[in-house]
Amino acid sequence: MPYAAMLLVVLLWGSAAAVGRRLGTDLSALELSIWRVAIGFLLLLILHLLTSRKHPKSFSQPKGGMPFQTYLRIWTFGIFGYGIMIWLFFCAARSTLASHVVLILSMAPISTLLMDRLLGGRGSAKSFISAGISLLGIAIMVAPSLSGSGASLIGDFWALLAMLSFSLYTIGVKRYSNGMSTLQVNLHGMAAGLAFLWLVLAIGERKFLPAGFHEIDQWTQIAYLGLGSTGLAYFLYAWALGNLAVDKVVPFIYLQPVVGVLLSLLWLGEPFSLPLALGMGFIAAGLLWNQFQTNTIKNEVLNRG
């Protein structure tokens, strides 16, 4: 079941960039983010209420209650994963090619492992090789953005920052969610991200509610992003992390660029250029090298034992 869940996550996340770009610019990136997170939060809240009635023991807190520090950490990482990341995602989706967004976000496995190592986790210095290879792919891919190609350097930069925010969220959930159910982790994280986005809207744009859409297809697209790519996908991703080792989960993310690029080419009609092909090749090589190194280190540890 965890593997089937990750395949669905890949489909939902891989299609998000194309759907996000189709939404257009009627609403600000911040308003789109609030709609997406709010819809996803509503879905998980309903699931939580239904599940807690049928299985109340699965939501019971440890004796003495959950430490406040645990909640604080989940809220903090939720701001990065559900607030900043999704805001940056829409900033990128409206200003650069969807194929660029999905390819840059596909580097999340490398970014997550490197960031985890920098924050004290286990890892090898050889992991930086895979990062270098993939970064070279990004450099090749975004080079045409400097002279204009339907993409933009700032949009690619937003996508890179979104990827880093997602990596930080992944590390935080894996490290500090012990004792909390998947639904609890996502509800607390999503609530924190939504509160952050609403606060920025109130202070930055002096609004208390985001604007609505005028077309039914726009409502359908934001509902898909909120219910599928946010609520369901993040829930399944966190659930998979709780049932599988990280090195078993991240290889599935490698399929995300395949789905995203195909949708960008076939649905949005984006050009399949030589820099895009070369960039995708280098990013894929970096991801494969990263997985090879992960398996090698794991086998060495097992052989020593």
The predicted pLDDT at position 66 comes to 67
| pLDDT tens-digit map of 136-176 | 776 776 665 544 556 678 888 999 999 999 889 988 887 87
The predicted pLDDT at position 205 comes to 85
| pLDDT tens-digit map of 123-146 | 555 666 766 776 677 677 666 554
Name the maximum alpha-carbon separation found in the chain.
63
The predicted pLDDT at position 301 comes to 44
Instruction: Provide mean pLDDT across the span 265-279.
Output: 77
Residues 12/233, Cβ–Cβ less than 8 Å: yes
| pLDDT tens-digit map of 235-267 | 787 788 777 776 667 667 667 777 777 777 877
Residues 156/287, Cβ–Cβ less than 8 Å: no
DSSP letters of the chain?
-HHHHHHHHHHHHHTHHHHHHHTTTSS-HHHHHHHHHHHHHHHHHHHHHHHHHH-GGGGPPPTT---HHHHHHHHHHHIIIIIIHHHHHHHHHTTS-HHHHHHHHTTHHHHHHHHHHHTT----TTHHHHHHHHHHHHHHHHGGGGT-SS--HHHHHHHHHHHHHHHHHHHHHHHH-TTS-HHHHHHHHHHHHHHHHHHHHHHHS--SS----SSHHHHHHHHIIIIIIIIIHHHHHHHHHHHS-HHHHHHHHTTHHHHHHHHHHHTS-----HHHHHHHHHHHHHHHHHHHHHHHHHHHHHHH-
Distance of CA 146 to the CA centre of its chain: 26
Residues 263/14, Cβ–Cβ less than 8 Å: yes
Radius of gyration (C-alpha) of the chain in whole angstroms? 19
Distance CA 145, CA 97 (A): 10
Distance of CA 187 to the CA centre of its chain: 16
Question: Residue 219 — very low, low, confident or very high, per pLDDT cuts 50/70/90?
Answer: very high
pLDDT tops 80 at residue 208: yes
Instruction: Provide mean pLDDT across the span 288-294.
Output: 68
| pLDDT, averaged across the chain | 79
pTM confidence score = 0.77
The predicted pLDDT at position 50 comes to 84
Any idea how long the chain is? 305
Q: Which of 72-81, 175-184, 194-203 has the lowest mean pLDDT?
A: 175-184
pLDDT tops 90 at residue 108: no
In 3D, which of 230, 253, 243 has the Cα closest to residue 167? Answer: 253
How far are the Cα atoms of 2, 46, 87 from residue 79, in angstroms, in the given order?
A: 25, 21, 11
The predicted pLDDT at position 190 comes to 92
The predicted pLDDT at position 87 comes to 95
Highest mean pLDDT among 100-104, 225-229, 232-236, 274-278: 225-229
| Alpha carbons within 13 A on the beta-carbon side of 225 | 26
Q: Which of 66-70, 187-191, 195-199, 227-231 has the lowest mean pLDDT?
A: 66-70
| pLDDT tens-digit map of 29-79 | 999 999 999 999 999 899 888 877 765 554 445 555 567 888 888 999 999
The predicted pLDDT at position 42 comes to 93
Instruction: Provide mean pLDDT across the span 174-193.
Output: 84
User: Which of the two residues, 76 and 16, has the higher pLDDT score?
Assistant: 76
